[in-house]
Amino acid sequence: MTAKIIDGTSIAADIQEEVKIAVEAMQATHNYVPGLATVLVGENPASTTYVRMKQKRCAEVGIRSIGHNLPEDIPQEDLEELVGDLNADPEVNGILVQLPLPGHLDEEAVLNTIDLGKDVDGFHPVNIGRLAMKGRNPLFIPCTPYGVMVLLEKSGVEISGSEAVVLGRSNIVGLPVAMLLQKANATVTICHSRTKDLAAHTREADILVAAIGRREMVTGDMVKPGAAVIDVGINQKEDPTKKRGYRLVGDVDFESAKEVAGAITPVPGGVGPMTIAMLLKNTLHAAEMSLAD
């Protein structure tokens, strides 16, 4: 049996269209459009590309983006002062500080400075704390984990009562995905670089989320027949047939896994397009909350 391919590009486009319609309605009703401030420190090429993509997608749905490109050597106080100004600016609904920050900066202190109501990345420790706690809800769900959950839901995967295994425990993906799956009543196992017998865990998973950052590490023999496999990895693999010399692959060996799984996301075209779609949704949500104040 070959798995159903979960089309993240199409699901993300639907969400983006919903946001666009809601932004148009907000403009018509309140004469107000959501605004997203992007903060980029230095010139890391991947970060620069990501921020540019976020700004482009904002423009497509009518969200105003306000870009702040700062020098690599900006002092901590100046960065925190900028975040403070953005917190106070009524035209800014969301503040996105692109990570990673250069080594001399205290990332945790910067994220702590962002107003909870503008934390559209959902990285503020209080937001993550609420996500972790029973009976509490975060103001914003971190974008990539949110995208993973939407892909599962839109693909008709039953989360409640399932065995879910998350590979990876990063603050941005692994940890919040695990907490969201638990909130949705899955029984969750988190595996990481020190897990002794990874395959023994993955073979039990009805839902397998791979966010471990190791190219094509999950092979078909590690997948439970019929499982839903969500691949968050983005890795380069040499490919002389491509002009740039490589192509993108995930943490899952797609060819072997798709023969065993019930549903699977491709790379590219799975989780990737969802992250920005969920950022747009969070920014809209921030603007709705500010109008309701």
Q: Under the rule (CB under 6 A), what is the footprint of ligand GUN?
A: 96-99, 121, 143-144, 172, 275
Active site annotation includes 237: no
State which amino acid sits at residue 265.
Answer: T
Q: Give the nearer residue to ligand GUN in terms of CB position, either 66 or 199.
A: 66
Shortest gap between Cβ of 209 and ligand GUN (angstroms)? 16
Active site annotation includes 54: yes
β-strand 263-264 against 4-5: which pairing, if any? parallel
Closest Cα partner for 68 from 100, 91, 98, 109?
A: 98
d(CA 155, CA 152): 5
Q: Give the nearer residue to ligand GUN in terms of CB position, either 39 or 228.
A: 39
Q: What sections of the chain are H helices per DSSP?
A: 8-30, 45-61, 76-88, 107-113, 125-132, 143-154, 174-183, 198-202, 254-257, 272-292
C-alpha dihedral, 128 to 135 to 229 to 161, nearest 10°: 160
Cis peptide before 142 (omega within 30 of 0): no
Active site annotation includes 281: no
Q: Give the nearer residue to ligand GUN in terms of CB position, either 122 or 266.
A: 122
Q: Give the nearer residue to ligand GUN in terms of CB position, either 38 or 182.
A: 38
Shortest gap between Cβ of 64 and ligand GUN (angstroms)? 18
Shortest gap between Cβ of 16 and ligand GUN (angstroms)? 16
Q: Which of 16, 55, 118, 121 is catalytic?
A: 121
Q: Which of 98, 183, 231, 253 is catalytic?
A: 98
State which residue has the least CB distance to ligand GUN: 99
Q: List active site positions.
A: 54, 98, 121
